[in-house]
Amino acid sequence: MFDVCLLGTGGMMPLPNRWLTACFMRYAGTSLLIDCGEGTQITMRLQGWSFKAIDYILFTHYHGDHISGLPGLLLTIGNSGRTEPVTLIGPRNLRRVVEGLLLIAPDLPFPIQYLELNGDTPVLELKDLVVTPFRADHGMPCFGYSVEIRRKPRFLPEKAKALGIPLPFWKELQKGNTVEHEGAIYEPSMVLGEARRGLKVCYCTDSRPRDSIVNGVKAADLFICEGMYGEEEKQTKAKEYRHMTFQEAATMAKQANVKELWLTHFSPSLITPYQYLDEARRIFPNTKVGKDRMTKVLKFADEENAGVTE
């Protein structure tokens, strides 16, 4: 199961019922956090999810509402007894920004590894999670992220038996490796079934709409996207500050043919985002307004239906 939780849904400043932006994902023992705004520790504790288990922290960009919670979180991870490295990933200048913040969080008991995204955006294999950054448009280096679980084709033992392939070689073929034995060459395609659909969750905040986002989130099972403003009359302001409206996020979801859209990163002035939900749903019907600790459990197509906790 692939767990996704919106830890914070606010933009710019925290509110009593809305902490700053952060999203937590976990699968098969790997935990990943995207952004770390103020209040991230509080919602994680309320959710009951482990600080110690966080392996990767990704940043869309370095405005304070996306990174201000990092020093305290790293201290808490250290106090949890973690000694294994934690990997931080983000746009250029990541190390410089984080090392400045760590002046108030020195002597961590675990090493920090840095991966800065420059130029071309590589596909990152983070244990069982495949992360593909895509460029956003916020007037400063900014990325969204596609997080995928890719499934190998099913191994067909009956085919392996019929071909007389020795049992010790089955595992290598299942991994996708070619095996040569006593002059015979066995290809994975000989014993693997059709490709199986995996899972894809995408996250993007602080951007104007652009093709790189649509391409990056294409066919996602869940697209989490900023809806800084619900009011159509805020369109001029959205353009000026490089943000999106509900309608623009819904239009990208429709263009990308995603299954579900969650809106997040609301302006402090947007007290009741549900008031504008119908306008987004007229464009993309399966749109939901995000709220802190909103959680979804995604399962593969051949498993039972996923569930959402709101």
Q: Which residues are annotated as a binding site?
A: 61, 63, 65-66, 138, 206, 265
Of the candidates 283, 274, 220, 222, the one whose C-alpha atom is nearest the C-alpha of residue 249 is 283
Q: Is the dihedral of CA 265, 271, 272, 278 positive or negative?
A: negative
One-character DSSP codes across 244-283: -BHHHHHHHHHHHT-S-EEEE-B-TT-S-GGGGHHHHHTT
Binding-site positions for Zn(2+): 61, 63, 65-66, 138, 206, 265
State residue 123 phi and psi, 5-degree precision: -80, 130
What is d(CA 87, CA 57) in angstroms, rounded to the nearest whole number?
6
With 0-12 CB in 10 A as exposed, 13-18 as middle and 19+ as buried, what is 68? Answer: middle
One-character DSSP codes across 70-126: HHHHHHHHHHTT--S-EEEEEETTHHHHHHHHGGGS---SS-EEEEEE-SS---EEE
What is d(CA 309, CA 190) in angstroms, rounded to the nearest whole number?
42
65 labelled catalytic: yes
Residue with tokens 């985002």: 273
- Calculate the alpha carbon distances from 209 to 12, 21, 46, 54, 224 in Å: 19, 19, 33, 30, 14
Which residue in the list 35, 65, 221, 292 is annotated as catalytic? 65
Q: Per the structure block, which two tokens stand in for 87? A: 């990997």
What is d(CA 258, CA 221) in angstroms, rounded to the nearest whole number?
6
Q: Is the dihedral of CA 17, 18, 19, 25 positive or negative?
A: positive
What is d(CA 141, CA 126) in angstroms, rounded to the nearest whole number?
22
Whole-number CA gyration radius for the chain: 21
Q: Which are the catalytic amino acids?
A: 65
